[in-house]
A and B are shown apart, each in its own frame.
Chain A
Amino acid sequence: GNSVTQMEGPVTLSEEAFLTINCTYTATGYPSLFWYVQYPGEGLQLLLKATKADDKGSNKGFEATYRKETTSFHLEKGSVQVSDSAVYFCALTGAAGNKLTFGGGTRVLVKP
């Protein structure tokens, strides 16, 4: 079956530091890949997505590239802010479906 593995947190950074959260996946066919973000006390929001190999998703300064050869979808941001403190989830859906498979989540804490 499908699975997603992402680095465990928490990740603690200073403001303006570079952030990378690693995500690798196992899936048959050509999944769609997502990063969701959960701010404290809230539900999940879609941060960015990519639907085919070599696609780059981007939003709010975050980027991730769909790498089929390494089955990875690492999340990066060049300069984090305190407001980026949240839990980040990598996820995928199968080629034809809506069911999401999530990684375990990575908590990021950005200190001023």
Chain B
Amino acid sequence: NAGVTQTPKFQVLKTGQSMTLQCAQDMNHEYMSWYRQDPGMGLRLIHYSVGAGITDQGEVPNGYNVSRSTTEDFPLRLLSAAPSQTSVYFCASSPRAQLAGGRNEQFFGPGTRLTVL
């Protein structure tokens, strides 16, 4: 199993540009999520999905869109990049809590480092 994969690893954008960060998992996990990591602030939840066709907002959703058309993929779209979105982005997946006996362990991808100029 490849686990959770993310592309690209690095990206530089200009203010106002749009782009999509890709995330895929091959563990048949129902739950997927996107976090951003900023210095001193830990990881903050952007959006999450409990299954194909179902998404919801996390703590910091503004400026980001997601969709979940398949179990495997969960792309994150930046509609109009801003310097405040400079961050490291992590995708994670896990079995749904009830199905995993409440273990709730999440598996993280290697991250995408995004710089917005």
Contact = CB atoms under 8 A, between A and B. Distances in A.
A104 B104 contact: no
Contacts of B97: 93, 96-98
A25 interface: no
B43 A99 contact: no
A49 interface: yes
B14 interface: no
Main SS class of interface, A: strand
A100 interface: yes
Nearest to B4: A43
Contacts of B105: 34, 46, 49
27 contacts: A4-B42, A32-B103, A32-B104, A42-B111, A43-B108, A43-B110, A44-B43, A44-B92, A45-B108, A49-B105, A51-B103, A51-B104, A89-B42, A89-B43, A97-B97, A97-B104, A98-B31, A98-B48, A98-B50, A98-B97, A100-B33, A100-B45, A100-B106, A102-B42, A104-B40, A105-B40, A105-B42
Contacts of B96: 98
Given A43-B110, A96-B98, A98-B33, 5 more contacts: A42-B111, A43-B109, A100-B92, A101-B45, A102-B35
Given A102-B43, A104-B41, A104-B42, A43 B111 contact: yes
A107 B68 CA distance: 34
A43 to B, nearest CB: 4
Interface of A: 4, 8, 32, 34, 36, 42-46, 49, 51, 89, 93, 96-105
Contacts of A105: 40, 42
B interface, size bucket: 20 to 34
A28 to B, nearest CB: 16
Contacts of B111: 42-43
Nearest to B109: A43
Interface of B: 4, 31, 33, 35, 40-45, 48, 50, 58, 90, 92, 94, 96-98, 102-111
B33 A43 contact: no
A49 B102 CA distance: 12
